Chains A and B, each alone.
Chain A
């Protein structure tokens, strides 16, 4: 009969209305500043630069290869390569960024920079409360603000950080094996040289 479905619908909404006052499950809203959800592991906001050890300047993994700068779709990364070199985590001399800026007012959180970086250097952070009164300068993050420790990375993305640690450990092991082989070859060569 005409109007039957309307009454059924009204009953549903009435149930929702009164139900929301008695059962908490009906209200999935999280009242943000007071209540917070634990961030999900695969959440990502803006990129940061990983460093090892205690000194961010010394431990910065970035070698200033500028791949991320070229790949970033909205072109919000700005890098100036250093003139001199500093040793990286393997002790190899590498360039480092004299300047590394990301304009997070332009960044679209795509995560491409983190994917293309061959040096496990740039990763995505989960920090989202970044509002500032300074519209231009406040959102242009220089490298000292971007640098965050590997411990931080392990905390926000444990799985990814473990994978990245494994890659670096393999690199170091490879470098060590190579050094050892080179040293052995040198010893051998020296030994061969002697009788002559």
Chain B
């Protein structure tokens, strides 16, 4: 029973494929894997926008959207129907293209954003045996395809012929390229220790429990440091606060998609959220045990439920961060990436190697690895704060 619930969707697909002639099967199999994935994550996008607005509202002591429920009825569902009018509004808005814009590139940019983002979902193990294509270079594929997003950002910013857009694109690219390095370096530790780029191997390496706790990489010193850095870099990659400089509303209107309206704007919005889900999904796969249950007595819960629970938990954390931290300045952003994140990620690589070679020494490797991370963290943090004159600000003339 538990087994069949876990494999419900996999078996359903095989059952449906059984009715088709041999020649059609590969094609239909691909469609049957892709369509539900796009539908589920598209739906998740709709719900998360509401959660985000409600959560931010509560953080700022407001209600957030709480009116719109099921259309044409009085049922309000605490505002969870808000995405329907939002979607309708985005779809029926006039699509304005600036006269000076490069029309073709302007049109292509949102498409170019969405395609690589959707492609990255191909390698995410959503549940047991539930990866669309589980091939050997999965993580590499994820990062290389994900990097194509930057092209779209630049296309949008350049083709709009708008200074705000161009500034937004410049910031976006500088930020994405800088943070891609710590992102990949922190993922490399996992790849080093697992010895495989295949996402299902990485998940399998985190199976089982020791002393009631799961064998997730996040519960090791190097894994914890790697996970934190991965999350920070993921925030920056998905242009979310406090790293939302590329679209800083108060300075750049909407950054590189200032000149987009209607459906194209919605596509950018969708692409951004799907990109965030994908990168969180990868973080879960690499550090949080993928679809594995956190406790031995909870293993009966289907694997895809665990994946989604972890995904939502991190999305809520991102919303929380967005409600807390103010936006960084460009130079702060850059110095944080180059003076803190990248050295830390490189040190973490060494720590992961130490961890590997000290296998079997028990508590000793915990102490050594934890010290190897905590020491540089404190020192680098001091270096970052030095000459900053933090504290109460004094004014020379105004007081």
**What is the interface of chain A, defined by CB distance below 8 A to chain B?**
1-3, 6, 9-10, 12-14, 16-17, 19-21, 26-29, 31
Q: Which residues of B contact A12 (CB under 8 A)?
A: 324
- For A4, the closest partner residue in chain B by CB is B381
The 30 listed contacts between A and B (C-beta, < 8 Å) are A1-B378, A1-B381, A2-B340, A2-B377, A2-B380, A2-B382, A2-B384, A2-B385, A3-B381, A6-B324, A6-B325, A9-B324, A9-B325, A10-B321, A13-B59, A13-B320, A13-B324, A14-B320, A17-B55, A17-B58, A17-B59, A17-B320, A19-B61, A20-B58, A20-B61, A21-B58, A27-B61, A27-B62, A27-B63, A29-B63
The complex places the Cα of A92 from the Cα of B350 at a distance, in Å, of 100
Q: Which of A10, A29, A31 contacts B320 (CB 8 A)?
A: A10
- For B380, the closest partner residue in chain A by CB is A2
Main SS at interface, chain A: helix
Q: How far is the CB of B8 from chain A (nearest CB, A)?
A: 35
Q: Which residues of A contact B384 (CB under 8 A)?
A: 2
- For A25, the closest partner residue in chain B by CB is B61
The A-contacting residues of B in range 351-399, CB under 8 angstroms, are 377-378, 380-382, 384-385
- For B60, the closest partner residue in chain A by CB is A16
The complex places the Cα of A14 from the Cα of B380 at a distance, in Å, of 28
Contact with A along B58-79 (1 / 0, CB 8 A): 1111110000000000000000
Total inter-chain residue pairs, C-beta < 8 Å: 45
Q: Which residues of B contact A14 (CB under 8 A)?
A: 320
Number of chain B residues whose Cβ lies closer than 8 Å to a Cβ of chain A: 20
Q: Which residues of A contact B382 (CB under 8 A)?
A: 2
Q: Which of B58, B377, B378 contacts A16 (CB 8 A)?
A: B58
Would you call B323 an interface residue if the criterion is a C-beta within 8 Å of the partner chain's C-beta atoms?
Answer: yes
Contact with A along B332-358 (1 / 0, CB 8 A): 000000001000000000000000000
Q: Which residues of A contact B60 (CB under 8 A)?
A: 16
The complex places the Cα of A6 from the Cα of B55 at a distance, in Å, of 18
Q: How far is the CB of A48 from chain B (nearest CB, A)?
A: 32
The complex places the Cα of A6 from the Cα of B320 at a distance, in Å, of 12
The complex places the Cα of A17 from the Cα of B60 at a distance, in Å, of 8
Q: Which residues of B contact A29 (CB under 8 A)?
A: 62-63
Q: A1-B378, A2-B377, A3-B381 are in contact. Are A13 and B63 (CB under 8 A)?
A: no
Q: Which residues of A contact B323 (CB under 8 A)?
A: 13, 17
Q: Which of A6, A9, A16 contacts B61 (CB 8 A)?
A: A16
Q: Which residues of B contact A26 (CB under 8 A)?
A: 61
The complex places the Cα of A2 from the Cα of B374 at a distance, in Å, of 11
The complex places the Cα of A19 from the Cα of B59 at a distance, in Å, of 9
Q: How far is the CB of A9 from chain B (nearest CB, A)?
A: 5
Q: How far is the CB of A17 from chain B (nearest CB, A)?
A: 5
The complex places the Cα of A29 from the Cα of B58 at a distance, in Å, of 11
Q: Are B59 and A16 in contact (CB under 8 A)?
A: yes
Q: Which residues of B contact A10 (CB under 8 A)?
A: 320-321, 324
The complex places the Cα of A21 from the Cα of B321 at a distance, in Å, of 19
- For B390, the closest partner residue in chain A by CB is A5
Q: Which residues of A contact B62 (CB under 8 A)?
A: 27, 29
Q: How far is the CB of A24 from chain B (nearest CB, A)?
A: 11
Q: How far is the CB of A21 from chain B (nearest CB, A)?
A: 7
The complex places the Cα of A3 from the Cα of B384 at a distance, in Å, of 11
- For A28, the closest partner residue in chain B by CB is B61
Q: Which residues of A contact B61 (CB under 8 A)?
A: 16, 19-20, 26-28
Q: How far is the CB of B34 from chain A (nearest CB, A)?
A: 36
The complex places the Cα of A181 from the Cα of B381 at a distance, in Å, of 92
Q: How far is the CB of A147 from chain B (nearest CB, A)?
A: 37
- For B242, the closest partner residue in chain A by CB is A6
